[in-house]
Chain A
Amino acid sequence: MCSATRTPRIATFMLAMPALSLVAGLIVFPTVGLFVLSLAENFSPGDPVDQFFAGRFGWANYVRLVTDEFVIGRLLRTLVIGAIVTLGTFIVGVPLAMALWRMSGRAKALLLAVTLTPLLVSIVVSAYGWSVLLGQRGIVNETLRSLGLISRPLKLMHSDIAIIIGLVHILLPFMVLNLLAALERVPRVVLEAASTLGASPLRVHAAITLPLAAAGTRSGVLLVFSLAVAAFVTPAILGGNGTPVFPMVIYDQFSGSFQWAYGAALAIALLAISSVIVALYLATARRGTY
């Protein structure tokens, strides 16, 4: 853990400089720029930059945001979808995480690899796969048809259901990894002690494993929720017409209605919401020290 010999502060600072500059220039500066844009009150995208700075600035866009029924409605909708997705990943993730926790060696490595595939494969590939599965003449519909369970194809694609399925698929690895980490922090020997004291496997899990793994569970839930709420690509590909979720509303401001300043305000709002969730996540996630 301890590094080599006494290290001069200046060297440490210089080592961090390049990466810090990247963050400053590519995260901090752009975000500030976005925020400044959100304060512009009479800006249109075609305007040259100097005219932008000469314009009026104020909170008008935010006022509009807060009073815009449609936008607020979409935001709430997004939060609901996010909650459903989080619940879905939790329900599907817990058995998987527990199975992984009990495994070791090759089997575990293999299962883990499969679990991580949604992360390793581009979103477009997954979305394409879902479109084939869920389409009007896709696998799910054809199978249900041939089994005689339905007479007309279900509209699965381009719907909220598709969004939810797609997001659960993409975010499952995050949930599983968090849960697994939390479970692995539970010392096995404590569980063994509980069974020597007479607790059946179910009671051991209920009384010991669950409380001890709770912190990791909280962090997994928060992480998935923050990612689900901010998701754009999956809803864009799998979602229905219009703008079913908040990020798509933001997109629309920039590409559809050309209300860049308003869009910027919406983006900052999303950032704010996401930051709150992330802050909670960081507070509950116990990171290992290096």
Chain B
Amino acid sequence: MIEGSIPALELQGVTKRFGATTAVDNLSLTVTRGEFIALLGASGCGKTSTLRMIAGLEQASAGTIRIRGEDVTTLPTHRRDIGMVFQSLALFPHMTVADNVGFGLRMRGRNTADIEREVKSALELVRLSGYENRLPASISGGQQQRVALARALAARPTILLLDEPFSALDRKLREELTLEFAELLRRVEATTVFVTHDQEEAFAMSQRVAVMQAGRVLQLDAPTAIFLRPADVDVARFVGMTNVLDATVDASGRNATSALGLVPLATLFEPGQQIAIGVRPEHVRPGDATGTTAVTFSATVRSTAFRGRHVSVILALERRGLGETRIDMLLPHGVMTPRNGEAIRCCIDAAVVHVMAAV
């Protein structure tokens, strides 16, 4: 860390308990200025509780929260310098778009001329110039979304918080707005914490993603790292690396034995160590070995399903003594779809074998 540069947001040991349940468990996180970070997880993982604690809408049971170095753990919401976009948008129905967007500035005591100016530029930013006098009820869902963002950004808060803002929109609108917002926020260099359960969204928009489960951060990393090199089996399953197999490191320390056979390892491991091998379904290829192949095996096709973009195939791999192991395979277009019951040969490249701690 460069001396003198204070992180925009710092959570240390933040915990939230509701009676006997722990929603957020000893969570620590640092967000630098201008960074876009996503809290990703299924419902109930604690991501929304965390966001609300940052906003001050809920009180942490333990731990500290610092915004730009200042301890805000017990500071009421309206005194924290934040902007928030809610899942339900929560636009003020009785105020015009301009009044909505200018509300934060008004609360901060800015004069009318300033407010007008800032509102204008905020609306320009979200491409809604000219909508000042409209009422929220008279504009479309996508437009309401933009007003909500403009409102959150107008007063240039230190931190921007987004609570699953796109969940109410249809797929097409979502995709459009996701990219637009990401680009916009990068341009204004807003420090953003974004909560979502949608992986694609999180990966597309963020510089770093925190995968959460049961109140804990399982992995905090760049999207590609999480996708290709999940930290543990839970993250792996979450990002779709569904082929997770137990393996034992052999005497040489450079290979591991598993249901797939002998799997070469990229680095040296302790002989006899128990590990888990992860392979993404799209990395299982039918056919014979090539120069980069590390593992080959034979398996029987149990079922196939056409899913539009890919064909998903479930294979059953039989190994004496180990019973039947399920392997998932994802085939793109152009490759012949095997038939049920067919026995096929598959191979996996060395580069895509991912090693994790044993379960």
Q: Which residues of A contact B57 (CB under 8 A)?
A: 5
Q: How far is the CB of B136 from chain A (nearest CB, A)?
A: 19
Q: Which residues of B contact A287 (CB under 8 A)?
A: none
Q: How far is the CB of B59 from chain A (nearest CB, A)?
A: 6
> A1-36 interface mask toward B, CB cutoff 8 Å, 1 = contact, 0 = none?
000011000000000000000000000000000000
Q: Which residues of B contact A6 (CB under 8 A)?
A: 59, 76
Q: How far is the CB of B80 from chain A (nearest CB, A)?
A: 11
Q: Which residues of A contact B76 (CB under 8 A)?
A: 5-6
Give Cα distance in the complex from A5 to B84, angstroms: 14
> B34-61 interface mask toward A, CB cutoff 8 Å, 1 = contact, 0 = none?
0000000000000000000000110100
Q: How far is the CB of B115 from chain A (nearest CB, A)?
A: 23
Report if B77 contacts A (CB, 8 A): yes
Q: Which of B235-255 contact A (CB under 8 A)?
A: none
5 A-B contact pairs sorted by A residue (CB < 8 Å): A5-B56, A5-B76, A5-B78, A6-B59, A6-B76
Give Cα distance in the complex from A102 to B56, angstroms: 46
> B52-78 interface mask toward A, CB cutoff 8 Å, 1 = contact, 0 = none?
000011010000000000000000111
Q: How far is the CB of B168 from chain A (nearest CB, A)?
A: 18
Give Cα distance in the complex from A277 to B76, angstroms: 46
Q: How far is the CB of A150 from chain B (nearest CB, A)?
A: 62
Q: How large is the interface on B (under 10, 10 to 19, 20 to 34, 35 or more residues)?
A: under 10
Give Cα distance in the complex from A5 to B57, angstroms: 5
Q: Which residues of A contact B59 (CB under 8 A)?
A: 6
Give Cα distance in the complex from A6 to B77, angstroms: 9
Q: Which residues of A contact B78 (CB under 8 A)?
A: 5
* Smallest CB-CB A-B distances: 7 pairs: A5-B77, A5-B76, A6-B59, A5-B57, A5-B56, A6-B76, A5-B78
A-binding residues in B (CB < 8 A):
56-57, 59, 76-78
Which B residue's beta carbon lies closest to that of A2?
A: B57
Which A residue's beta carbon lies closest to that of B55?
A: A5
Give Cα distance in the complex from A5 to B56, angstroms: 8
Q: How far is the CB of B79 from chain A (nearest CB, A)?
A: 11
Give Cα distance in the complex from A259 to B78, angstroms: 63
Q: How far is the CB of A97 from chain B (nearest CB, A)?
A: 33
Q: Which residues of B contact A5 (CB under 8 A)?
A: 56-57, 76-78
Q: How far is the CB of B296 from chain A (nearest CB, A)?
A: 52
Which A residue's beta carbon lies closest to that of B77?
A: A5
Which B residue's beta carbon lies closest to that of A6?
A: B59
Give Cα distance in the complex from A161 to B59, angstroms: 63
Q: Which residues of A contact B56 (CB under 8 A)?
A: 5
Give Cα distance in the complex from A5 to B77, angstroms: 7
Which A residue's beta carbon lies closest to that of B59?
A: A6
Give Cα distance in the complex from A6 to B75, angstroms: 11
Give Cα distance in the complex from A5 to B78, angstroms: 9
Q: How far is the CB of A1 from chain B (nearest CB, A)?
A: 12
Q: How far is the CB of B74 from chain A (nearest CB, A)?
A: 9
Q: How far is the CB of B86 from chain A (nearest CB, A)?
A: 12
Which B residue's beta carbon lies closest to that of A5?
A: B77
Give Cα distance in the complex from A1 to B170, angstroms: 26
Which A residue's beta carbon lies closest to that of B76?
A: A5
Give Cα distance in the complex from A289 to B56, angstroms: 25
Give Cα distance in the complex from A32 to B59, angstroms: 43
Give Cα distance in the complex from A6 to B56, angstroms: 9
Q: How far is the CB of A5 from chain B (nearest CB, A)?
A: 5
Q: Which residues of A contact B77 (CB under 8 A)?
A: 5
Which A residue's beta carbon lies closest to that of B52?
A: A2
Q: How far is the CB of B304 from chain A (nearest CB, A)?
A: 33
Give Cα distance in the complex from A10 to B57, angstroms: 19
Q: How far is the CB of B84 from chain A (nearest CB, A)?
A: 13
Give Cα distance in the complex from A6 to B59, angstroms: 8
Q: How far is the CB of A4 from chain B (nearest CB, A)?
A: 8
Q: How far is the CB of A50 from chain B (nearest CB, A)?
A: 55
Give Cα distance in the complex from A6 to B78, angstroms: 11
Which A residue's beta carbon lies closest to that of B58?
A: A6
Give Cα distance in the complex from A6 to B80, angstroms: 14
Give Cα distance in the complex from A5 to B55, angstroms: 10
Q: How far is the CB of A8 from chain B (nearest CB, A)?
A: 10
Q: How far is the CB of B34 from chain A (nearest CB, A)?
A: 28
Give Cα distance in the complex from A5 to B76, angstroms: 7
Q: How far is the CB of A11 from chain B (nearest CB, A)?
A: 13
Give Cα distance in the complex from A140 to B59, angstroms: 69
Give Cα distance in the complex from A5 to B75, angstroms: 11
Q: How far is the CB of B88 from chain A (nearest CB, A)?
A: 12
Q: How far is the CB of A2 from chain B (nearest CB, A)?
A: 8
Give Cα distance in the complex from A16 to B330, angstroms: 63
> A235-266 interface mask toward B, CB cutoff 8 Å, 1 = contact, 0 = none?
00000000000000000000000000000000
Give Cα distance in the complex from A5 to B79, angstroms: 12
Q: How far is the CB of B67 from chain A (nearest CB, A)?
A: 17
